[in-house]
């Protein structure tokens, strides 16, 4: 067959432009000594170009070449991991807007589990939380459009819209027989990332809901407010259901509690992704002030970085449920047409060298999360194509075993032993941290008729066992700061 002889002229020009692009890409990736595997890649481009040609040549209607190229890119990234994605110009602008601290929508974190859109967690105080959306809910439809085969980015685009407009969800809640129809009015979601209050005389509480551009500044303000006029005698730092956010903010927040120390390390396949990140400011809170950090299955990424660093250095006791395990770095690249590429380029490691990816952070004191009956929280290991953790084999992956919780009468936490492989933590892996009574992450708690953020402090302490145990431990002197990480010289970053 003579390629293109019976093609309309405009279509041939489009094909020529596409083939030119393929050639250009090939030139960009050529190295002086090409390996055999490189030629297989170039052969793949030939196949892609041929498919593009055949579709333009034979499809029953004239296709939209722009949509086809975007579809090819999305399909390419869908073979990688759950966090790599393509963003259109509109999606790229929305992503940048969200990173700045606000967007218009319903306020819910979503992911895919078993190819089904699933709620990770609603954001406190948002329309989704007020409507009763829960972690583990499966989103079957959005505005009567089935979500089967819908990507997360496509779902986000469908969920967002003008303030005051409505979006209708079809929700399947495991354990229930019928689909729940949930109509939610979109609103401006000001991602206020930091809330604080006094739990008891001298004991402060800081809740970080996500890490955005002003988070470290707001945490510093909260510390200074809670510490006036008298210094705090204890602090609960709540990172539960915090999906993460900006890496630099997690580093700065860590520095507010520990000063200039190594916070996290990234390691990737490309040399420029290998980096050690160090906080660059003095601690605002006294290093002698005991801290309990609350985490749960919804604590991910930047929140795991903070919790992992504070655990490694013995700066805080970590209490709650094992974290999500999202320990990968996404680099965002703006493409020439204004669209964007979000690509996983490295993994996160705590200062002692523990991998966060898939492993998560196991608390020193395990207290089961308050989950609705028959609901099992999802973690990174539940996501399709997730990057493997250090101790995980995809072909024979076993479910996590339940950890063991510490009894309230346990000995005072006064730091961790140190050996040549760890920094300020007990010898052994996360799975070796065991003490006290046995517990299950699937333990059912009481059914709540309203969300925690709408309750009074007394009501919250009654039903929130993680928070109440943290407060008791601080009040009873069961937590001591034993900061084992001496300040290190700050390594400048370019």
DSSP string, 366-379: E----B-TT-----
CB contact at 8 A, 179 and 146: no
Is residue 303 scored above 90 in pLDDT? yes
Res. 122 pLDDT band, cuts 50 70 90: confident
Structure tokens at 360: 């998560």
CA end-to-end span of the chain:
54
Q: What is the pLDDT of residue 97?
A: 67
Of residues 326, 369, 403, 441, which has the active-site annotation?
Answer: 326
Candidate ranges 84-93, 128-137, 261-270, 428-437; pick with highest mean pLDDT: 261-270
What is the per-residue DSSP string for 274-342?
Answer: -EEEE--S--SS-TTS-EEEEE-TT--THHHHHHHHHHHTTSSEEEES------EEEEEEE-TTS-EEE
Q: What is the pLDDT of residues 252-279, one digit of tens each?
A: 999 999 999 999 999 999 888 899 999 9
Query: Cα dihedral sign for 68, 70, 73, 78?
Result: negative
Query: Cα dihedral sign for 345, 349, 354, 359?
Result: negative
Residue of 355, 373, 445, 443 lying closest to 402 (CA atoms): 443
Average pLDDT along the chain: 79
Res. 113 pLDDT band, cuts 50 70 90: confident
Res. 468 pLDDT band, cuts 50 70 90: very high
Of residues 124, 137, 242, 312, which has the active-site annotation?
Answer: 312
Q: What are phi and psi of 341, to 5 degrees?
A: -120, 120
Q: What is the pLDDT of residue 373?
A: 64
User: What 8-state DSSP symbol labels residue 355?
Assistant: B
Measuring CA to CA, how many Å separate 98 from each of 164, 165, 452, 494?
19, 19, 25, 25
CATH topology for the 194-475 domain: 2-enoyl-CoA Hydratase; Chain A, domain 1 (3.90.226)
CA pair distance 166, 148, nearest whole angstrom:
21
CA pair distance 185, 164, nearest whole angstrom:
6
Res. 478 pLDDT band, cuts 50 70 90: very high
Res. 1 pLDDT band, cuts 50 70 90: very low
Of residues 250, 301, 328, 481, which has the active-site annotation?
Answer: 301
| Vertex 429: Cα angle to 425 and 431 (nearest 5) | 115
Query: In the Cβ-directed half-sphere of 207, how many Cα atoms lie within 13 Å?
Result: 15
CA pair distance 481, 260, nearest whole angstrom:
17
Q: What is the pLDDT of residues 3-37, one digit of tens each?
A: 333 333 344 344 444 333 333 333 333 334 545 56
Question: In this predicted structure, which of 156-160, 195-199, 283-287 has the lowest mean pLDDT?
Answer: 156-160
pLDDT > 70: what percent of the chain?
74
- Catalytic, 312? Answer yes
- Catalytic, 331? Answer no
CA pair distance 411, 395, nearest whole angstrom:
40
Is residue 487 scored above 60 in pLDDT? no
| pLDDT, mean of residues 237-251 | 93
Q: What is the pLDDT of residues 213-236, one digit of tens each?
A: 899 999 999 999 999 999 999 999
Q: What is the pLDDT of residue 384?
A: 80
- Catalytic, 151? Answer no
Is residue 362 scored above 90 in pLDDT? yes
Res. 395 pLDDT band, cuts 50 70 90: low
| The CATH number, out of the four listed (1.10.1040.10, 3.40.50.300, 3.30.360.10, 2.30.42.10), of the domain defined by the range 102-190 | 2.30.42.10
Residue of 77, 180, 75 lying closest to 119 (CA atoms): 180
| pLDDT, mean of residues 292-301 | 95
User: Cβ of 104: how many Cβ atoms within 10 Å?
Assistant: 17
Is residue 434 scored above 50 in pLDDT? no
């Amino acid at each position: 067959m003579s390629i293109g002889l019976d093609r309309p002229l405009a279509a041939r020009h489009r094909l020529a432009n596409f083939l030119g692009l393929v050639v250009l890409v090939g030139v960009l990736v050529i190295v002086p000594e090409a390996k055999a595997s490189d030629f297989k890649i170039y052969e793949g481009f030939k196949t892609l170009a041929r498919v593009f040609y055949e579709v333009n040549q034979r499809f029953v209607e004239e296709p939209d070449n722009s949509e086809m190229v975007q579809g090819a890119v999305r399909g390419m990234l869908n073979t990688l991991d759950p966090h790599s994605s393509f963003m259109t110009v509109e999606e790229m602008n929305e992503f940048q807007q969200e990173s700045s601290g606000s967007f218009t929508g319903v306020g819910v974190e979503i992911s895919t589990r078993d190819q089904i859109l699933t709620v990770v967690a609603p954001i406190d105080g948002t329309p989704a939380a007020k409507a009763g959306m829960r972690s583990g809910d499966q989103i079957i439809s959005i505005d009567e459009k089935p979500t089967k085969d819908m990507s997360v980015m496509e779902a986000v685009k469908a969920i967002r819209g003008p303030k005051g407009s409505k979006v209708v969800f079809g929700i399947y809640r495991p354990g229930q027989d019928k689909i729940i129809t949930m109509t939610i009015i979109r609103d401006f979601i000001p991602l206020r990332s930091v809330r604080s209050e006094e739990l008891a005389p001298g004991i402060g509480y800081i809740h970080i809901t996500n890490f955005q551009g002003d988070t470290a500044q707001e945490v510093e303000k909260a510390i200074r407010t809670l510490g006036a006029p008298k210094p705090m005698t204890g602090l609960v730092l709540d990172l539960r259901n915090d999906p993460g956010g900006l890496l630099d903010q997690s580093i700065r927040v860590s520095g507010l509690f520990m000063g200039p120390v190594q916070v996290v390390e990234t390691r990737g396949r490309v040399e420029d992704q290998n980096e050690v990140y160090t906080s660059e400011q003095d601690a605002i809170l006294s290093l002698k002030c005991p801290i309990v950090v609350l985490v749960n299955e919804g604590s991910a990424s930047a929140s795991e970085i903070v919790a992992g660093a504070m655990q490694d250095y013995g700066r805080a006791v970590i209490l709650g449920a094992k974290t999500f395990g999202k320990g990968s770095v996404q680099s965002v690249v703006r493409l020439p047409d204004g669209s964007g590429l979000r690509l996983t380029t490295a993994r996160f490691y705590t200062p002692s060298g523990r991998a966060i990816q898939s492993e998560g952070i196991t608390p020193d004191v395990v207290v089961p999360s308050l989950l609705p009956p028959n609901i099992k929280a999802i973690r990174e290991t539940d996501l399709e194509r997730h990057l493997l953790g250090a101790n995980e084999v995809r072909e024979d992956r076993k479910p996590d075993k339940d950890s063991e919780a510490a009894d309230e009468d346990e000995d005072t936490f006064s730091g961790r032993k140190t050996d040549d492989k760890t920094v300020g933590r007990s010898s052994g892996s996360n799975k070796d941290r065991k003490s006290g009574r046995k517990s299950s992450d699937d333990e059912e708690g009481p059914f709540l008729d309203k969300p925690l953020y709408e309750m009074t402090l007394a009501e919250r302490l009654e039903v929130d066992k993680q928070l109440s145990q943290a407060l008791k431990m601080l009040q009873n002197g069961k937590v001591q700061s034993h900061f084992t990480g001496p300040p290190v010289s700050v390594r400048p970053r370019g």
